[in-house]
Amino acid sequence: MSNPDQEMSPTLVRYLREAAGQPFAWGSLDCSLFMAGWVRARTGIDPAAALRGRYATERGALRLARRLGGMEAVARRQMAAAGFATTCEPVPGDVGIIAHPCIGPTCAVLTEYGWAIKSLQGVAVVRFPAIISWSLA
Protein backbone atom coordinates (compact mmCIF):
# COMPACT_ATOMS: atom_id res chain seq x y z
CA MET A 1 0.00 0.00 0.00
CA SER A 2 1.29 3.46 -0.83
CA ASN A 3 2.21 6.06 1.74
CA PRO A 4 -0.74 8.48 2.18
CA ASP A 5 1.64 11.35 2.95
CA GLN A 6 3.01 11.02 -0.58
CA GLU A 7 -0.33 10.40 -2.34
CA MET A 8 -2.67 12.93 -0.73
CA SER A 9 -2.18 16.67 -0.78
CA PRO A 10 -0.04 17.90 2.09
CA THR A 11 -2.87 20.23 3.12
CA LEU A 12 -5.32 17.31 3.41
CA VAL A 13 -2.83 15.18 5.33
CA ARG A 14 -2.21 18.05 7.76
CA TYR A 15 -5.95 18.68 8.19
CA LEU A 16 -6.68 15.00 8.89
CA ARG A 17 -3.83 14.77 11.42
CA GLU A 18 -4.97 17.90 13.24
CA ALA A 19 -8.60 16.72 13.33
CA ALA A 20 -7.54 13.28 14.55
CA GLY A 21 -5.79 14.88 17.50
CA GLN A 22 -8.77 16.97 18.56
CA PRO A 23 -11.76 15.67 20.50
CA PHE A 24 -15.15 15.26 18.87
CA ALA A 25 -17.28 18.19 20.03
CA TRP A 26 -20.84 18.95 19.00
CA GLY A 27 -21.05 22.43 17.52
CA SER A 28 -17.32 22.89 17.01
CA LEU A 29 -15.81 19.66 15.60
CA ASP A 30 -18.51 17.13 14.81
CA CYS A 31 -19.04 15.26 11.53
CA SER A 32 -20.66 18.23 9.75
CA LEU A 33 -18.16 20.80 10.95
CA PHE A 34 -15.27 18.42 10.18
CA MET A 35 -16.34 18.49 6.52
CA ALA A 36 -16.94 22.26 6.57
CA GLY A 37 -13.58 22.79 8.27
CA TRP A 38 -11.83 21.01 5.41
CA VAL A 39 -13.70 23.15 2.86
CA ARG A 40 -12.56 26.25 4.78
CA ALA A 41 -8.94 25.01 5.00
CA ARG A 42 -8.85 24.23 1.28
CA THR A 43 -10.77 27.19 -0.14
CA GLY A 44 -11.06 29.86 2.54
CA ILE A 45 -14.87 29.54 2.39
CA ASP A 46 -16.75 28.22 5.42
CA PRO A 47 -20.05 26.72 4.23
CA ALA A 48 -21.15 26.17 7.85
CA ALA A 49 -20.33 29.61 9.23
CA ALA A 50 -24.01 30.27 10.01
CA LEU A 51 -24.26 27.00 11.97
CA ARG A 52 -21.13 27.17 14.14
CA GLY A 53 -21.91 27.64 17.80
CA ARG A 54 -25.68 27.18 17.38
CA TYR A 55 -25.71 23.82 19.19
CA ALA A 56 -23.58 22.05 21.79
CA THR A 57 -25.10 18.56 22.00
CA GLU A 58 -26.20 15.77 19.68
CA ARG A 59 -29.80 16.58 20.56
CA GLY A 60 -29.24 20.24 19.70
CA ALA A 61 -27.63 19.30 16.37
CA LEU A 62 -30.52 17.02 15.46
CA ARG A 63 -33.07 19.63 16.51
CA LEU A 64 -31.37 22.34 14.41
CA ALA A 65 -31.02 20.05 11.39
CA ARG A 66 -34.67 19.02 11.64
CA ARG A 67 -35.79 22.66 11.94
CA LEU A 68 -33.76 23.51 8.81
CA GLY A 69 -35.13 20.61 6.73
CA GLY A 70 -32.69 17.80 7.55
CA MET A 71 -28.93 17.41 7.40
CA GLU A 72 -28.77 16.66 3.68
CA ALA A 73 -30.97 19.66 2.83
CA VAL A 74 -28.87 21.92 5.05
CA ALA A 75 -25.62 20.68 3.48
CA ARG A 76 -27.02 21.11 -0.04
CA ARG A 77 -28.07 24.70 0.68
CA GLN A 78 -24.85 25.64 2.44
CA MET A 79 -22.59 24.14 -0.24
CA ALA A 80 -24.61 25.70 -3.08
CA ALA A 81 -24.61 29.09 -1.35
CA ALA A 82 -20.83 28.82 -1.00
CA GLY A 83 -20.58 28.17 -4.76
CA PHE A 84 -19.68 24.46 -4.82
CA ALA A 85 -21.12 22.16 -7.49
CA THR A 86 -22.21 18.58 -6.94
CA THR A 87 -20.22 15.83 -8.61
CA CYS A 88 -20.93 12.19 -9.44
CA GLU A 89 -17.20 11.45 -9.60
CA PRO A 90 -15.56 12.81 -6.45
CA VAL A 91 -11.79 12.78 -6.18
CA PRO A 92 -9.61 12.88 -3.06
CA GLY A 93 -10.12 16.23 -1.38
CA ASP A 94 -13.78 16.51 -2.37
CA VAL A 95 -16.51 16.29 0.27
CA GLY A 96 -19.84 14.56 0.60
CA ILE A 97 -22.51 12.95 2.67
CA ILE A 98 -22.15 9.19 2.95
CA ALA A 99 -24.60 6.45 3.92
CA HIS A 100 -23.11 5.14 7.17
CA PRO A 101 -24.94 1.89 8.03
CA CYS A 102 -24.87 2.49 11.81
CA ILE A 103 -25.33 6.21 12.27
CA GLY A 104 -27.05 7.24 9.04
CA PRO A 105 -26.04 10.09 6.73
CA THR A 106 -22.65 11.48 7.71
CA CYS A 107 -20.55 14.32 6.32
CA ALA A 108 -17.14 13.22 5.06
CA VAL A 109 -13.97 14.13 3.17
CA LEU A 110 -12.77 11.81 0.40
CA THR A 111 -9.23 10.46 0.68
CA GLU A 112 -7.32 8.02 -1.47
CA TYR A 113 -8.43 5.21 0.86
CA GLY A 114 -12.09 6.08 1.39
CA TRP A 115 -14.22 8.65 3.14
CA ALA A 116 -12.73 10.28 6.25
CA ILE A 117 -15.21 11.06 9.02
CA LYS A 118 -14.81 12.64 12.43
CA SER A 119 -15.35 9.98 15.07
CA LEU A 120 -15.33 9.97 18.84
CA GLN A 121 -11.88 8.35 18.67
CA GLY A 122 -10.35 10.74 16.11
CA VAL A 123 -10.78 10.33 12.36
CA ALA A 124 -11.93 7.11 10.72
CA VAL A 125 -11.68 6.18 7.05
CA VAL A 126 -14.63 4.16 5.78
CA ARG A 127 -15.86 2.82 2.46
CA PHE A 128 -19.57 3.59 2.36
CA PRO A 129 -21.49 4.91 -0.64
CA ALA A 130 -21.89 8.63 -1.18
CA ILE A 131 -25.38 10.08 -1.08
CA ILE A 132 -24.14 13.34 -2.58
CA SER A 133 -20.71 14.84 -3.11
CA TRP A 134 -19.30 18.24 -3.98
CA SER A 135 -16.23 19.16 -5.97
CA LEU A 136 -13.82 21.60 -4.37
CA ALA A 137 -11.89 22.08 -7.62
Residue extents of the structural domains in the chain: 4-134
- pLDDT band for 137, please (50, 70, 90 cuts): confident
Q: Is the pLDDT of residue 8 over 80?
A: no
Locate all alpha helices (DSSP H) within 21-125, ordered by sequence: 31-43, 58-67, 71-81
CATH architecture for the domain at 4-134: Alpha-Beta Complex (3.90)
How many Å apart are CA 95 and CA 108, to the nearest integer? Answer: 6
Residues in Cβ contact with 67 at an 8 Å cutoff, skipping those fewer than 6 apart: none
CA 105, 110, 10, 120 dihedral sign is positive
Under a CB-based contact definition with an 8 Å cutoff, are residues 124 and 24 in contact?
no
Under a CB-based contact definition with an 8 Å cutoff, are residues 105 and 131 in contact?
yes
- pLDDT band for 7, please (50, 70, 90 cuts): low
pTM to 2 decimals?
0.90
Under a CB-based contact definition with an 8 Å cutoff, are residues 108 and 117 in contact?
yes
